[in-house]
Structure formats: C-alpha cells, structure tokens
Amino acid sequence: MSFPPAPKFVKKNHHVVPVLWQKKFSGAGDPGPYYLNVASGKAHSAQGPGDKMSEEYANIVFDELYRPSDRLEDVLGDIENKIAKGLDELTKSGKIEKNTKIDMAMLLALQACRYPERFSTLLDLGKYLAIALFDYRECPNVTVLNNALRAKGVLPGINFTSEDFERLRGSSEEKLAAELEAILALHGYEASFNPELIISSAQQVATHILGLKWTLVHCLDRNFILSDRPVPLPIGYGFDLGLTSEYGLRLSDPDDISQETLYPITVTSAEVDDTNAKVRARAKTWICGPGAWVHSL
C-alpha cells in the first residue's frame, strides 16, 4: 500500500497576531515596536516581532493519516497579505474607504476566530485519539510517552500529564478499543472541529463587524498599542482598539452605518490611555507599542 507524500510541515511557532500588524505599532525610524511580556514583566527594546505574539502549533492541521501540516498557516498568511493593503492604505491616506473597511473587518474577524484557546475541544479530542492507540500503553512513564508521540508525529506540541498517563495505563483494552472506534467513526477529530473553519467563520463575524458603527480616531502622538489578544471575546456590540500606532477604531451599537468613507477625529491623550488600558487588559502575554513607555503599562 502506498501513501501520499507527507504534507509540508516546517513551522513550529504560529503567529496569533500577524507580524505585519505588529509592525504597524513601531516608532519612527525603529526596526520594530517595543514589547512587554505582561506575564513575566520582561521588557524588550525596539525590535522585530520574531516569534512574539505566537504560540506553538496554534494553526496546525492534520491530513487523513494524522500527519501535521502547515496548510492552514499558509492560507492565513495569504489572507493577511491581502489585508495588509488595507492597513497600508489607512497609513497612507488617513481615512478608511469602503474596500479598506472590508479589509479591516476581516482582520478583526480573523483575530476573533483564531485564538488557540478557542480550540480546546480540538486538542482534547486529539488526546483521546492518542490515548486510544495501543502502541503507547506499555510506555514506562509519561516522559517516554510524550517522546514517543513526538517522534511518531502525533500531535506535536501536546504534553500529556501524569493523570493522562494513569488513565491510559488503567484503561482496559475493551474500553480503549471502543473509544478508538467511536473516534474513527467521526473520521478523526478534525471532523468534529476542523481548525480551517476559522476562515469560513471569520467571514460571518466580519459581516457582523461591518454592521456596527465605526468611528476612526487619530492620535497625534502615535501612542496606540497592540496586544496578543487585540479583539475581545465575545465581540458583542462594540470595543475599542488601535489599528496602528497612529489610528484607532471604536466600534459601537449602530445608529447610522450609511457612511461610505470614514474620516478620523482627533482624540485626547486621556482617550488614547483609555483605549490602551482596554487593549492591555485583554492581553494574554504580550503588548507592544511605539515607545519604551510601553514597559510601564
């Protein structure tokens, strides 16, 4: 029996927030934004995004043989490159035209749909699949089990706990066989929750965002920041965030959404601080912005 060629799989760290968006929060003449790890307190001077605002295997998908693939990461990258034109147009013209608005809505919608914590069901079902594999039942300890799974290419990045291992060792062959049969009947866990639904889901979320009232705001001092969770969950009927270090966006309950072109209104330092505080509060690990003052937030 011959198997199809293995899919392309070269990326370990997948960006949760696009690199191209992070770069929009750099200061004039700087190679990249200033970063703060809000979890550890570690501060970084102006530098490129690197692997910051990324997580291991956040966008990983598997083929029918459960081999890991970069397919979703590559598709998201293509979409983000198109969206970048909207950010570039905003920076250049200082306004949001109709087409740019669609780009912005898709950017925000993708963020809402791609956060890894939304995929806990996917990873849990993946664990069950691995637990059902008889090959690993005789591993002497959880470390050997994890190493075996990584070497096999089954769910790289997943770390079984001691409790998971005890469950595997304590399950009867009949129970494991029944569990495996139930999972395979679903054609694998991707049939239960396919990460590529991020894209189709984002299109629906973007439609909702486009139906909100948009207010484009301008910070003369270019002091807006970005976090690794820029869009709140749930989105609801409004939130504030920075689109670049210079421009921010307020979304709110619609009262008049007929405006085709959005021109900015200048906001005060207090209003920028209020938006930044909301963005900072949503952060999981990282925030970035155009100056070293970000380190004190």
pLDDT in tens, 16-53: 999 999 999 998 888 889 999 999 999 999 999 999 99
Q: How far apart are the first and last CA of the chain?
A: 59
Tokens representing 24? 């929009």
pLDDT of the residue at 189: 42
Kindly provide the b/e burial profile for residues 19-40, where b requires at least 16 CB atoms within 10 angstroms of the residue's own CB.
Answer: bbbbbbbbbeebebbbbbebee
Handedness of CA 161, 166, 171, 173 (dihedral sign): positive
> What share of the chain has pLDDT > 70, as a percent?
82
Identify which of 125, 225, 142 has the alpha carbon closest to the alpha carbon of residue 183: 125
pLDDT in tens, 181-215: 665 555 444 434 456 678 888 888 999 999 999 99
What's the Cα-to-Cα distance from 149 to each of 63, 119, 135, rounded to whole Å? 16, 20, 10
